[in-house]
Amino acid sequence: MNLRVGPFDPVLHIRSRDHHRAICREAALLDLPPDSLPRRWEAAVGRFYVCLHLEPVTEAVDRAFQAGEPAFTADVAVPDEQVPEALAACNELDRLLGDLRRWAQESDADVLSFPDDVRAYYAAFLVQARAQLQAGATQGSGLPDGALGSP
């Protein structure tokens, strides 16, 4: 199936990418266990990236940023057999998004704050991806729309 990502602001995408990397660095520096929310977030983002083959998104973001463009879009080919796994990763990230933000606010570990615009970007990206993945999974399964559920 073809997944269209965007249009989104490349600067915000880069900020979200930097934020993700910072969470990963802090989790490593704090030696957080694999079952901690930051480590689960890191693993889920990795699965999402691999399942959706998001390399073209990174390339589109970098091109748009370097050209000073206000938005980027990218088309990503997701193999039909990976759609269920990609949808599961999307739903997992959606669940973890709220949990991670609360954890960062409540934790005494001094993990990076979760800026509202970065959280909103993650949420919009996931909503867009989930809608398309659900449509692709429904088409491939013969099930009616909405039969695969949401997070």
The Cα diameter of the chain in Å comes to 48
Instruction: Specify whether the CB–CB gap between 76 and 5 falls below 8 A.
Output: yes
Q: How confident is the model at residue 110 (pLDDT cuts 50, 70, 90)?
A: low
pLDDT, average across residues 91-101: 88
Helical (H) or strand (E) element with 40? helix 37-52
Could you state, in order of their start, the residue ranges of all structural domains in the chain? 2-139
pTM: 0.84
Helix 83-106 × helix 116-141 angle, to 10°? 160
SS3 28: helix
pLDDT at 150 over 80: no
pLDDT per residue as tens digits for the range 31-84 = 989 998 889 999 999 989 988 888 899 999 999 999 999 999 999 999 989 999
Q: How confident is the model at residue 3 (pLDDT cuts 50, 70, 90)?
A: very high
**C-alpha atoms less than 13 angstroms from C-alpha of 70 in its C-beta half-sphere:** 0
